[in-house]
Amino acid sequence: MRRGRPASRILGGMRLGSSARVTAVSLALAGFALGVGGCDDGGEDPLAVETLQRVARAQGDAVGQGFAGVYALAGEPGPCDCPEVENLGDLCAILNVDVPVLPATVSHYDGLVVVEIGGTIALIGAVEADGAFATASILNAGLIGADGDLLSRFDGSFDGEGGVQGELVTRLVADFFGEAIDCRASSTLTNLSL
């Protein structure tokens, strides 16, 4: 039984269905069709659109489906530099994940992984044989009433014994009623022992 805020409260009440997952994958793959490529150089913003597209297209060296499953995650909010916005409130409270139990569904096939967190966001990327993963998502910020993008990255590792932990970082690049915002929120997500 879940405690705390319902999943619909995470990320401002966004709930993603299969069409949103397809949109996240399509946006990530759009750069491939445009010829965006190359490796992440140390100076590039890890939440730049081009970087997220590369992360989402990457494939790791994991074999099989060993990391697939449903996980119960605890969210711990981290740093956030987002402001309060009139008629919407504190963006940090919307973007940070601060819940005692949050379901995550992981689909894994060989070096590809899709992580759907709380029914609100689906991230796609690579998983390595040692369990390390890097996933990304690009969503329309209209889901929270803004004109712009929600750029997210979830990097972490599966421990091979049913555990997962990582950092979810979200960048909001949007316009709220004429106010331009470019801010970031970070949360640590850790698998709960049940």
Residues 140-157 have pLDDT tens digits of 988 787 889 999 999 999
Which residues lie closer than 8 Å to 110 by C-beta, 6 or more apart? 59, 62, 63, 64
Instruction: Name the domain count of the chain.
Output: 1
Number of neighbours of residue 161 by Cβ within 10 angstroms: 7
Residue 162 lies in a domain: yes
In this prediction, residue 192 has a pLDDT band, given cuts at 50, 70 and 90, of confident
Q: What are phi and psi of 162, to 5 degrees?
A: 95, 5
The residue with tokens 């909010």 is: 77
The residues with which 136 forms a beta bridge, in sequence order, are 124, 153
Mean pLDDT calculated for residue range 66-89: 90
The residue with tokens 């919407």 is: 88
The residue with tokens 């932990």 is: 165
Residue 126 lies in a domain: yes
Q: What is the pLDDT of residue 92?
A: 93
- How far is 125 from 167, CA to CA, in rounded Å? 14
Residue 1 lies in a domain: no
Residue 116 lies in a domain: yes
Q: What is the pLDDT of residue 156?
A: 96
Residue 2 lies in a domain: no
Residue, of 8 and 125, whose pLDDT is higher: 125
Q: What is the pLDDT of residue 105?
A: 93
Q: Over 80: is that where the pLDDT of 59 sits?
A: yes
Residue 18 lies in a domain: yes
Residue 13 lies in a domain: yes
Question: Residue 54's domain spans which residues?
Answer: 7-191
Which of these, 122, 131, 114, lies nearest to 63 by C-alpha position? 131
